Structure 1
Amino acid sequence: MSDFNKDEYLNDLPDMDDLSGQAAPAAASAADGASADSAAAAAGATQEGAAQPAAAQSQENGDSAAADGADKADAADGKADDTLTPLGQAKKEAAEYLEALQRERAEFINFRNRAQKEQERFRQHGIIDVLTALLPALDDIDRIREHSEMDDSFKAVANKIDKAFKKFGVEKFGEKGEDFDPTKHDAILHKPDPNAEKETVDTVVEAGYRIGDRVIRAARVVVASPQN
């Protein structure tokens, strides 16, 4: 084993100035990396913050554009009315009044037609009620005419009654020899007749009455039927 030499050992150690020079660049490199990372983070935050106001600004611009469009439409309508000349404005108002007048006239015509129909219906009901109440007396007058002589005064009264009912549209029907029609004749008896070729009215027991196409009372008749 060799002897330890203190001076040789000290001479082999590196110089402190050299060590400090090597450490300084490494530290500087680390510091530069940290600064770069901080700068990148700051730049990202700045970009994100800038993006949010930009989006908000875009939304506000869209809403503002929609509001402006509505205002412009209203302004256009108002401007259209403002651009009309006095004559044009008068023509426009006249057309509106004419349309309203025509609509009111059509409604009035419809109301008048309904009222006329209701009036006519009530009128017919009144005539039917009076006729129905006088039917027995009218049947007696017909029997007197057929089976006996009528004096002039009684005949005049009977004719006035007939004319009064004709004035209100009442028609008397039922004659001997006409074809039998079940829609207006009420057959109380069918009598075989060798000379009959089809069913005909042989005897009118009670005359029938109608108003227009409405049968108030069917004629009560005896029907002559062909023999089979």
Structure 2
Amino acid sequence: MSDFNKDEYLNDLPDMDDLSGQAAPAAASAASAASAASADSAAAAAGATQEGAAQPAAAQSQENGDSAAADGADKAGAADGKADDTLTPLGQAKKEAAEYLEALQRERAEFINFRNRAQKEQERFRQHGIIDVLTALLPALDDIDRIREHSEMDDSFKAVANKIDKAFEKFGVEKFGEKGEDFDPTKHDAILHKPDPNAEKETVDTVVEAGYRIGDRVIRAARVVVASPQN
């Protein structure tokens, strides 16, 4: 789902009801008619009265006409202000739809974050389960390695040992520790340092117990005898 921009969506909405938009011209026309009628009445009254009273009557009539026109203009202005705050039914529906869509996208983003957290938690629990099983089987795995190194296996026992190794590989468990590789204190546990005149740097001379890791996490360091330079 693409990102939804509520402001751009609402820019296309009509600003007021069509009927409300027509209210201002109608009110202005009514105000003009009222002003004209008041002016005519004032003129007729001025003609019927004496000359001395004509000017005050006309002035009063003109004042009344101006007051009526002002009232009409105020009403028209109020109608305009009210119309500015009123949307058409279609505009109101589009506005509500935009608000619902915006809320839906927020809920969708929260759900995606929750799903990602749940997947990470599930993977972490799965890894802990593998580590628990591996730790429980380490003594048996060490015995299998000793049998491989110091005696010959029959075919059936060798097949079982290979199945166990492949099962752990399937779950991401890696076995490490080989004779002749450089000594690395982050993955090797040196139980003995043996001086060697031929050694130019510290190397693994004997693997007592193999190491195991999952990814970058070392479950158990390889226990080794290290050949060190004599100096």
For 1:96-150, what per-residue CA distance to the aligned partner results, in whole angstroms no more than 9, with x for missing partners?
A: 1111111101111111111111111111111111101100000011111111111
CA gap 1:166/1:36 in 2 versus in 1, 3 angstroms:
closer
- Residue among 111, 114, 122 paired with 2:117: 114
1:103 aligns with 2:106: yes
Q: Distance in 1 between matches of 2:5 and 2:178?
A: 173
Distance apart, 1:191 and its partner CA: 0.6
> What are the ranges of 5 or more consecutive residues in structure 2 without an aligned counterpart?
none
Percent identity for Structure 1 against Structure 2: 98
Deviates more, 1:54-63 or 1:69-78: 54-63
User: What residue number does 1:76 align with?
Assistant: 79
Q: Distance in 2 between matches of 1:9 and 1:118?
A: 39
For 1:141-183, what per-residue CA distance to the aligned partner results, in whole angstroms no more than 9, with x for missing partners?
A: 1111111111111111111100110111111000111110111
Distance apart, 1:95 and its partner CA: 1.3
Deviates more, 1:111-120 or 1:85-94: 85-94
Distance apart, 1:84 and its partner CA: 2.3
For 1:11-43, what per-residue CA distance to the aligned partner results, in whole angstroms no more than 9, with x for missing partners?
A: 999999999999999999999999999999999
Deviates more, 1:9-18 or 1:93-102: 9-18
Deviates more, 1:200-209 or 1:119-128: 119-128
CA gap 1:40/1:146 in 2 versus in 1, 3 angstroms:
same
Deviates more, 1:27-36 or 1:129-138: 27-36
Does the 8 Å CA contact 2:24/2:77 hold for their aligned counterparts?
no
User: What residue number does 2:134 align with?
Assistant: 131
Deviates more, 1:65-74 or 1:37-46: 37-46
CA gap 1:27/1:121 in 2 versus in 1, 3 angstroms:
closer
Let me know the Cα RMSD of the aligned residues.
33.7
Deviates more, 1:139-148 or 1:59-68: 59-68
CA gap 1:119/1:70 in 2 versus in 1, 3 angstroms:
farther
How many residues are paired up? 228
Deviates more, 1:67-76 or 1:17-26: 17-26
Q: Which has the higher contact order (CA 8 A, sep 6+)?
A: 2
CA gap 1:142/1:10 in 2 versus in 1, 3 angstroms:
closer
TM-score (norm 2): 0.63
Q: Distance in 2 between matches of 1:190 and 1:3?
A: 63
Q: Secondary structure at the match of 1:12?
A: coil
Runs of at least 4 residues off by over 6 Å: 1-78
Distance apart, 1:90 and its partner CA: 2.7
CA gap 1:46/1:208 in 2 versus in 1, 3 angstroms:
farther
For 1:181-206, what per-residue CA distance to the aligned partner results, in whole angstroms no more than 9, with x for missing partners?
A: 11110000101111111100011000
Q: Distance in 2 between matches of 1:53 and 1:141?
A: 126
Distance apart, 1:78 and its partner CA: 10
Q: Distance in 1 between matches of 2:182 and 2:51?
A: 107
Does the 8 Å CA contact 2:24/2:76 hold for their aligned counterparts?
no
1:16 aligns with 2:16: yes
TM-score (norm 1): 0.64
CA gap 1:88/1:148 in 2 versus in 1, 3 angstroms:
same
Q: Secondary structure at the match of 1:203?
A: strand
Q: Distance in 2 between matches of 1:166 and 1:13?
A: 61
Q: Distance in 1 between matches of 2:46 and 2:221?
A: 110
CA gap 1:49/1:99 in 2 versus in 1, 3 angstroms:
farther
Higher CA-based Rg: 1
Distance apart, 1:226 and its partner CA: 0.7
Does the 8 Å CA contact 2:35/2:65 hold for their aligned counterparts?
no
CA gap 1:23/1:143 in 2 versus in 1, 3 angstroms:
closer
